[in-house]
Structure 1
Amino acid sequence: MDEPNEQRALTLIGGGGHALVVGEAARRAGFSLAGVYDDDASPAALRLGVTRLGSLNDVDASGGWIIALGNLAARAKVIERLGSDAARVIHPGASVEASATLGAGTYAGPRCVVHSFAVVGAHAIINTAAVIEHECELESNVHVAPGAVLGGRVRVGSGSLVGIGARVLPGVRIGRGVVIGAGCVVIRDVPDGARVVGVPARELGKA
């Protein structure tokens, strides 16, 4: 890893279930929570015991912040507006090699593993027990869901979702805006915008 978690107050952008996960991980990583921005009454704000600061359009990005929305399209809209000057949240139970790089705004969950010389772009979600093997390259706003595994030297384009428990074989290239279904085994490259399901994975229309 290139640098440790910043020790400062953190604002969560998004107030649903993913915000609960990010918020608790942030506290365990040494952050304090300044509050939550969300368009609706925020269950995360209530359960985390912090203030709802306003809607997603009201975000003040002058302090520490991280996108805590799970929906990739919603995340992309926030990224377009606010850019990449965001904090990383790395759960103390995550294993991130010193040679790996995590982009700004990335969340790394408990028991996830990011191996040697992997490069993870900004605003990624490396969820619980996900594995990013050696020399993988992930572009921005990628979600590797719980239990998913990327073999060595896999490439994943921006805005793509690797579903729960999916497996991507070494060297495979995943395009941008792709959805890989839960439990898939991906053995060949996937083009931009595709949705794939099954074992082995097959294309099932557009994402």
Structure 2
Amino acid sequence: MNRTLLVLGAGGHGRVVADAALVMGFERVAFLDDRQVTVQAGLFPVLGPLASLESMKEEWPAAIAAVGDNRVRLALFHRLLQAGFKTPSVLHPSAVVSRNASVARSVFVAAGVVVNIGARIDDAAILNTGATIDHDCAIEAGAHISPGAHLAGNVTVEQCAWVGIGSALKNGVRIGAGATVGAGSAVVRDVPADITVAGSPARALAKRMDDSGHC
């Protein structure tokens, strides 16, 4: 079995993903990144820009998108699929994921995460350090649950939404596509799409401008 992994994005998040991949058992990990940087981080070379992705497939058949921007990450994931790459998820060994939860492709589950029974984690989502996802939650494609965020049961986080660090989400709430939950917020009611909320209880701050109208 080829135990190599190409990580798209050599920033801080990409380095966390790469480190977890080594702990998980991948033997060779390298980056693609558009910035002119020489990132070694002790172990991980940058092989070239993202434009070289398709040419890397023979030597590096498996890849994961690891940029923080939700929309960019999801677009890179679809580019990987179109190019025929394998798109494994990276789950840190210290994460606790129920055997009765589902984790899709190119998902990153960081150290200390807990995912309980019935939860569904869709393509290219991020569950960051120490987050907890309780029973029957749905984390849709490209969403990001930040470090230390806690989701009670039956929460839905729609496509490309972002739940900020240390937030708490009441059972049954829905976070709309592209919405942002500010750090440390307590969400007790549904959040519409493309809205930023913050506070305790969380209230709307502003509507995000997005001419495309979708994630």
* TM-score (normalised: structure 2): 0.88
Q: 1:73 to 1:10 in 2, by over 3 A?
A: same
Find the counterpart in structure 2 of residue 17 from structure 1.
12
1:163 is aligned to 2:157:
no
Is the Cα–Cα contact under 8 Å of residues 114 and 131 in structure 1 kept in the other structure? yes
> How far is 1:206 from its partner?
1.7
Letter aligned with residue 14 of structure 2: A
Q: For this pair of structures, how many residues does the alignment match?
A: 201
CA distance in 2, matches of 1:178, 1:68: 20
Runs of 4+ in 1 over 6 A off after TM superposition: none
Structure 1 residues 42 and 97: CA distance shift in structure 2, 3 A: farther
Mapped pair 1:70 → 2:65: no
The yes-or-no answer on 1:204 pairing with 2:205 is: yes
- Please say if residues 13 and 69 of structure 1, whose CA atoms lie closer than 8 Å, have aligned partners that are also in contact: yes
C-alpha contact (below 8 Å) 2:22/2:29 kept by paired residues: no
Which blocks of at least 5 consecutive residues in structure 1 are unaligned?
Answer: 1-5
Change in 2 beyond 3 A, CA 1:65/1:56: same
User: What is the aligned partner in structure 2 of residue 3 from structure 1?
Assistant: none
Q: For residues 1-207 of structure 1, what are the structure 2 equivalents within 5 Å?
A: 8-42=3-37, 45-60=39-54, 62=57, 63-83=61-81, 85-207=86-208
Is the contact made by 1:23 and 1:33 (CA closer than 8 Å) also made in structure 2?
no
Change in 2 beyond 3 A, CA 1:164/1:64:
same
* 5+ residue gaps, structure 2: 209-215
Tell me the CA shift for residue 7 of structure 1: 7.0
The answer to whether the Cα contact below 8 Å between 1:141 and 1:159 also exists between their aligned partners in 2 is yes
Contact 2:138–2:156 (8 Å) recurs in 1: yes
The letter of the residue matching 2:53 is: V
Post-superposition offset of 1:48: 4.0
Judge conservation of contact 1:76–1:141 (CA < 8 Å) in 2.
yes
The residue type paired with residue 133 of structure 2 is I
**Which residue identity does 1:11 align to in structure 2?**
L
Deviation of the 1:134 alpha carbon: 0.2
What SS does the aligned partner of 2:105 have? coil
CA distance in 1, matches of 2:21, 2:197: 33
State the AA in 2 paired with 1:81. R
Change (3 A) 1:35 1:125: same
Aligned CA-pair RMSD: 1.7
